[in-house]
Structure 1
Amino acid sequence: MAKASTKSSAKATKKRKVIVDSVGEAHITASFNNIIISLTNKKGDVISWASAGKMGFRGSKKNTPYAAQVAAEECAKTAHEAGLRKVKVYV
């Protein structure tokens, strides 16, 4: 009987670590089809991001105020766990 190969061909990649200050920037992009929120440090490296589509909204529901609120809450929760406390908002 042939031996089963247990060796994985995919390399294990490390998740890159972003340096998080207590003050950062919130970049909000609202198009006709989606809302994207990115939280960055002062240098511009993305700490956390979320969109209405990533939160599970589809079609015309992606561009609603409620979808933007859900995406902002998810993005803020992830960034708060990383150490971000204050943001400057750019629309």
Structure 2
Amino acid sequence: MAEEKKLKTEEKKESETKTEVLEVEKNEEEVAKKKIKKAKRQISKGRATVKCSYNNTMVSIADLTGGVLGWASSGMLGFKGAKKATPYAATQVVANVSEKVKKYGLTELEVFVKGVGSGREASIRALANNGFDLTLIKDVTPIPHNGCRAKKPRRI
């Protein structure tokens, strides 16, 4: 009886040490996985797409193949309601996106502006002031060729 108890306790100790060793190996693997980082690619040219609506301003910066490097909107930065469509909000959005994209080494941008909001010029100016060389500024606002009926004008 006493021998059986000793064997059981020894087996428990062995299994506990095995689990501890396995846990240590898992932790070492996790540490090794964390150390491996993908190198950021260096990109010199990119495209900035600015969408300015009556309610919001969105900016995304992509490489020339279309892979998005960073994006932001004024609602994302905490602006609420009518403040989202202001020129100040547009400059803050551009500052946020340019901060995200600086690590890629972007220097030249082609800017495509879409929409009729008040943040159009402010966002273009902010892109130029954040250290980007603007090689192209193009208005790509969709214009219907007498397609769907337009919204009724607001009466204030």
Number of the residue aligned with 1:3: none
Structure with more relative contact order (C-alpha pairs < 8 Å, separation 6 or more): 1
More strand by share: 1
Unaligned runs of 5+ in 2: 1-38, 114-156
- Whichever residue aligns with residue 80 of structure 1, its letter is K
Instruction: Work out whether residues 28 and 90 of structure 1, in 8 Å CA contact, stay in contact via their aligned partners in 2.
Output: yes
Would you say 1:43 and 2:65 are equivalent positions?
Answer: yes
Would you say 1:81 and 2:103 are equivalent positions?
Answer: yes
Unaligned runs of 5+ in 1: 1-16
Instruction: Work out whether residues 52 and 68 of structure 1, in 8 Å CA contact, stay in contact via their aligned partners in 2.
Output: yes
TM-score by length of 1: 0.76
TM-score by length of 2: 0.46
More helix by share: 2
Deviation at 1:79, TM superposition (A): 0.5
RMSD: 1.8
Matches within 5 A, 1:4-83: 19-83=41-105
